Structure 1
Amino acid sequence: MLAPFYLIVDDLQWLERLCPQGLRLAQLRIKHKSPSERLEAVSAALVTARAHSCTLVINDHWETAIETGADWLHLGQEDLDTADMVAIKRAGLKLGISTHTEAELDRALTFDPDYVALGPIFPARGKTVDYAPQGIARLTTWRERISCPLIAIGGIRLEHAAEIYAAGAHSICVITDVLNDADPENRCRDWIKASGTSKSQ
């Protein structure tokens, strides 16, 4: 079962800092590293995450996820064009897929994903995106169409949490609301408390 609070990080140091706070679901989004550096980084991140019972999702790099023995993979729509889905399924990787439109959701569901992410719910603060904000109401529409967990992402702040969970999101994924906070550890703990994530989850 996926934890209801989901944090995206780009470096092992964040896992080392925030897993001890009770973080139980994280995505490692690595950019601009060589294949060997990426392999080393993912391997180290898996060790840290597993030591704290944190589910670690590897973003994009399906070959690295397979090579390191990761359990979870997240793919964007563009990644679906090039990823070897047969190899991914053969390796037993659980799969999350990003969606932004009805057509993308239709496509994602053909891959039998283990979760679907919808975003951006609000204007994204962590990266530039090509899609307009979806709004909270669309979460309810997506929830009615899928049987797997639904992840809400994009511009979400802690004060939005209750309304987003009520709309049908199984989990809320954030980046900047924690990582850009003056006290990331405290902000992470606040999210964990608001989401009902327990340290044993």
Structure 2
Amino acid sequence: MPYPDRSAYPDRFYPVVDTLDWVRRLTGLGVGTVQLRAKDLNDGESLQLVSDALQIVKDTPTRLVVNDYWRAAIVAGAKHVHLGQEDLTTADVHEIRKAGLTLGLSTHDDAELDTALAAEPDYVALGPIFFTTLKSMRFAPQGIPKIAEWKKRVGNIPLVAIGGIKLEQAAEIFDAGADSIAVVSDVTQNPDPDARVKAWLEQVIETA
């Protein structure tokens, strides 16, 4: 299935996964942007993971976004990195930019948004929109109305909505102003992930 606009970054459907198998699976399904988020790896492990993931997406339309491991991303030749607020405090944004990588940042409240915008990111992620059980969150769900409010603040910077979002809520979230939806459990915990991914791709084409 052709995706409508490969120039848009990140794609409107933006799955976040934690293994090479998921990267391979989503690449095979024609997903345009995939974030690889694996935790607690040392320098050697992270470099190996990023290098292997880049091999998977090589010569495909899929763009790999490396979560957290910005040094490994630079060394391995990745083009896109995503940082959380805690990662941002220890990352060298100048080095990331010098290496030519795009930079996406997570935000959860107004103070974090201010911090993110100061770094001039290529996109800002807002979450959690809904309750999520995937990881412990010290922030309450933002809700859909927050999307419209934050889109006014970020202006032309793409806004990614994340956190507990299911396909059935996608149209409303796009209508509220989100440019992209990051999806985790609705794909990785779905009994038929391939069918769910195809449904997401159809949905974003219809709402583009």
TM-score over 0.5 (shorter chain): yes
Match of 1:126 in 2: 134
Structure 2 residue 195 is matched with structure 1 residue 186: yes
1:88 pairs, out of 96, 121, 127, with 96
Contact kept in structure 2, 1:125 and 1:154, CA below 8 Å: no
Structure 1 stretches of at least 4 aligned residues deviating more than 3 Å after TM superposition? none
Cα displacement string for residues 97-150 of structure 1 (whole angstroms, at most 9, x for unaligned residues): 001111111110001000000000000132111100000011001110112100
Which stretches in structure 2 are left out of the alignment for 5+ residues? Answer: 1-7
Superimposed CA distance per residue, residues 167-200 of structure 1 (whole angstroms, 9 cap, x where no aligned partner): 0011000111000011111111111111119xxx
User: What residue number does 1:159 align with?
Assistant: 168
TM-score, normalising length: structure 2: 0.91
Task: Quote the sequence identity (%).
Answer: 49
Asked whether the equivalents of residues 15 and 183 of structure 2 are also in contact (C-alpha less than 8 Å), the reply is yes
User: What is the SS of the residue equivalent to 1:36?
Assistant: helix
Structure 2: distance between partners of 1:178 and 1:156: 10
**Which structure has the higher relative contact order (CA within 8 Å, separation 6+)?**
1
In the alignment, is the contact (CA less than 8 A) between 1:125 and 1:176 conserved in 2? no
Q: Which amino acid aligns with 1:174?
A: V
Q: Give how far 1:37 is off.
A: 2.1
* Distance in 1 (alpha carbons) for counterparts of 2:187 and 2:199: 10
Q: Distance in 1 between matches of 2:167 and 2:133?
A: 14
How much has 1:47 moved relative to structure 2?
Answer: 1.8
Query: Could you tell me which amino acid in structure 2 is paired with residue 195 of structure 1?
Result: V
Give the whole-Å Cα distance in 2 for the aligned partners of 1:125 and 1:18.
23
Q: What letter corresponds to residue 69 of structure 1 in structure 2?
A: G
Unaligned runs of 5+ in 1: none
User: In the TM superposition, what is the alpha-carbon distance from 1:65 to its structure 2 partner?
Assistant: 0.8
For these two proteins, the number of residue pairs brought into alignment is 197
Q: Aligned AA for 1:66?
A: I
Counterpart in the other structure of 2:54: 46
User: Does 39-48 or 107-116 show the bigger shift?
Assistant: 39-48
